[in-house]
């Protein structure tokens, strides 16, 4: 049950938080969900590493919270070049939250621009299917373009092998339909996951975490999901998990439409709040989408000041 909450909702948004570095993002995510009129609450899933001042900040804003265990594979893989992936295994936790009928997991570096409550009604396999059906969960595809040319990424992660590239000739379809779940590498992006929690599915995930297969998972949780349930998930259009890099010229600007995006995902660094903390209130050249976060954050801070909340977050 959520901490300090007597009436448990049956459908929730969740987001994982392990430290205060992402807390400004989480608070603005919660504000954005409320601003677009979502009927469903956000529950912050916090681990032991999340400090007391962070939990206090959530309580002061009336954000539900729930303690979860920190997940790691039995056979550790080194993510020296991408330490963020150590936390990502815990984003598999929503599959275990059987106290809810529907969980939509969001990354804390997201900003909701339009109501997307329809995800709470999206048809998925019932928990009784135990992960054997063809609609185990829903997500948008990972982008395999590697636009920053990170040398530690797999060499075959190039635009020609990206699921979104297959939609460049049909941009209007891309606003409403995702590439097939087995397109390209068949890998979901873990930032948004629509889940009917199930003990049986979670057991499959935990069993996989106990195998040496995890040593081959370059992208942690999303590699596991793409492998374990290959082609058996619902591929959502990019608009529900609009990675900011898709908007960049020469990446997937061929399909990106500002007016269609429902949820923008600020992957990679810098995060918008990093620039905010540095006193830069304008967007960077590549990331004009950061300006959307700046405006939403200003609104949040103004409301919080009115309500007497004046912490550093």
- DSSP secondary-structure letter at 162? -
Please indicate, yes or no, if residue 1 is contained in any of the structural domains.
no
Please indicate, yes or no, if residue 182 is contained in any of the structural domains.
yes
pLDDT at 252 over 90: yes
The whole-angstrom separation of Cα 178 and Cα 122 is 14
What tokens were used for 118?
A: 């329809």
Residue-wise pLDDT tens digits, 164-185 = 999 999 999 999 999 999 999 9
Domain of residue 143, CATH code: 3.90.550.10
Phi, psi for residue 236 in degrees, rounded to 5: -80, 155
pLDDT on residue 105? 98
* Number of domains the chain is built from: 1
Please indicate, yes or no, if residue 293 is contained in any of the structural domains.
yes
**Better-predicted residue by pLDDT, 77 or 242:** 242
Collapse the DSSP code of 91 into the 3-class scheme (helix H, G, I; strand E, B; otherwise coil) and give the result.
helix
Please indicate, yes or no, if residue 96 is contained in any of the structural domains.
yes
Strands 102-106 and 192-195: antiparallel
Please report which residue ranges of 36-135 form alpha helices under DSSP H. 52-60, 84-88
Residue-wise pLDDT tens digits, 74-110 = 877 765 666 566 678 889 999 999 999 999 999 999 9
The whole-angstrom separation of Cα 45 and Cα 48 is 10
Strand extents, DSSP E, 162-292: 192-195, 234-236, 242-243, 263-265
Residue-wise pLDDT tens digits, 284-304 = 556 889 999 999 999 999 999
Rounded to the nearest angstrom, the gap between the alpha carbon of residue 220 and the centroid of all alpha carbons in its chain is 13
Please indicate, yes or no, if residue 263 is contained in any of the structural domains.
yes
The whole-angstrom separation of Cα 235 and Cα 71 is 25
The whole-angstrom separation of Cα 137 and Cα 196 is 7
Q: Residues 226-245: what's their mean pLDDT?
A: 98
Please indicate, yes or no, if residue 198 is contained in any of the structural domains.
yes
The whole-angstrom separation of Cα 54 and Cα 67 is 13
Q: Which domain holds residue 108?
A: 11-305
Please indicate, yes or no, if residue 3 is contained in any of the structural domains.
no
CA separation (Å) from 164 to 86, 120, 266, 286, 309? 26, 24, 18, 19, 42
The whole-angstrom separation of Cα 12 and Cα 25 is 18
Q: Residues 32-40: what's their mean pLDDT?
A: 98
pLDDT on residue 278? 66
Mean pLDDT of all residues in the chain?
Answer: 93
Of 94, 83, 76, 77, nearest in space to 16 by CA: 94
Please indicate, yes or no, if residue 76 is contained in any of the structural domains.
yes
pTM equals 0.94
């Amino acid at each position: 049950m959520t901490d300090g909450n007597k009436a448990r909702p049956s459908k929730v948004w969740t987001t994982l938080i392990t430290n205060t570095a992402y807390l400004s993002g989480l608070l603005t995510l919660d504000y954005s969900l409320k601003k677009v009129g979502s009927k469903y609450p956000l529950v912050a899933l916090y681990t032991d590493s999340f400090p007391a001042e962070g939990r206090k900040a959530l309580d002061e804003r009336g954000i539900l919270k729930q303690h979860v265990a920190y997940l790691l594979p039995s056979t550790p893989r080194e993510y020296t070049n991408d330490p963020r992936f150590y936390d990502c295994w815990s984003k598999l936790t929503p599959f275990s939250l059987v106290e809810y009928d529907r969980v939509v997991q969001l990354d804390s570096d997201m900003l909701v621009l339009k109501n997307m409550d329809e995800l709470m009604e999206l048809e998925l396999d019932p928990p009784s299917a135990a992960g054997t059906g063809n609609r185990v969960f829903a997500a948008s595809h990972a982008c395999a373009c590697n636009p920053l040319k990170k040398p530690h990424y797999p060499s075959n992660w190039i635009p020609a092998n990206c699921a979104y590239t297959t939609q460049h000739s049909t941009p209007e379809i891309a606003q409403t339909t995702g590439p097939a779940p087995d397109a390209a590498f068949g890998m979901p992006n873990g930032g948004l996951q629509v889940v009917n929690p199930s003990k049986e599915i979670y057991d499959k995930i935990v069993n996989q975490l106990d195998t040496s297969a995890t040593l081959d998972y370059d992208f942690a949780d999303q590699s596991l999901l793409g492998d374990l349930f290959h082609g058996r998930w619902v591929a959502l259009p990019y608009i529900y998990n609009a990675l900011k890099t898709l908007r960049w010229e020469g990446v997937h600007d061929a399909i990106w439409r500002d007016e269609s995006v429902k949820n923008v995902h600020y992957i990679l660094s810098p995060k918008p709040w990093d620039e905010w903390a540095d006193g830069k209130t304008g967007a960077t050249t590549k990331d004009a989408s950061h300006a959307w976060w700046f405006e939403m954050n200003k609104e949040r801070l103004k409301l919080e000041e009115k309500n007497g909340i004046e912490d550093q977050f």
